[in-house]
Homo-oligomer: A and B are copies of this chain.
Amino acid sequence: MKTTVGISNRHVHLKQSDLDILFGQDLTVKNKINQPGQFAANELVTIKTDKAEISNVRVLGPVRGYTQIEISKTDAYKLGLNPPVRTSGDLENSEVVTLIGPKGSIKTNGCIIADRHLHITYQDKEKYHMPDKIYVKVGGIKPGIIEVNVKASDEAYFEIHLDTDDANAFLLKNGDEVEIVDL
Which residues from chain A sit less than 8 Å from chain B, CB to CB?
72-74, 77, 85, 115-116, 141-147, 164-166, 168-171
Contacts and interface: CB of A to CB of B under 8 A. Distances in A.
B171 A169 contact: no
Given A142-B147, A144-B146, A74 B73 contact: no
A141 to B, nearest CB: 5
A3 to B, nearest CB: 16
Given A85-B141, A144-B146, A166-B169, 9 more contacts: A72-B168, A73-B168, A73-B169, A74-B168, A142-B146, A142-B147, A144-B144, A165-B165, A168-B169
A144 B145 contact: yes
A142 B168 contact: no
Most buried by B among A142, A143, A164: A142
A116 B169 CA distance: 10
B85 A142 contact: yes
Contacts of A77: 168
A95 to B, nearest CB: 15
Most buried by B among A77, A85, A169, A170: A169
A117 B88 CA distance: 34
Contact of A165 (B116, B141, B145, B168): B168
**Which 3 pairs from chain A and chain B are nearest by CB?**
A169-B169, A73-B168, A144-B146
A133 to B, nearest CB: 10
A141 B133 CA distance: 12
A134 to B, nearest CB: 12
A146 B166 CA distance: 12
Most buried by B among A72, A144, A171: A144
Contacts of A170: 169
